[in-house]
Structure 1
């Protein structure tokens, strides 16, 4: 498994609360959920090696 890069993240407290609740709903840690959301966004935009989704997908 590749080593993960650590870095500080500054985030709006209200947004953090939303992500924290969302992560709990998905049985993920906040860190894991943020990584999941970023990967999904990168995949959607065709930047993660996958096919870029269109509105028809």
Structure 2
């Protein structure tokens, strides 16, 4: 399960279209593109956010 915060975001249709174009160019989802743009904007304003550790993948370790 993801530890990401979900919320509704209303965007101007032209902004949404631009985000989708950028996302497609960079092989990202629109959601990932918005998160990347927000991180860049926060960093530019001096509020850099460190990325969360990636989720663990694969099978859990064997017990024993």
| Band the TM-score falls in, shorter-chain normalisation | 0.7 to 0.9
Is the helix fraction higher in 1 or 2?
1
Specify every segment of 5 or more residues in structure 2 that has no aligned partner in the other structure, as ranges: 51-64
CA RMSD of aligned residues (A): 1.7
| Kept in 1: contact 2:19–2:33 (CA 8 A) | yes
Query: How many residues matched?
Result: 49
Which has the bigger relative contact order, CA under 8 A and spacing at least 6? Answer: 2
**Bigger-Rg structure (1/2):** 2
- TM-score, structure 2 length as denominator? 0.69
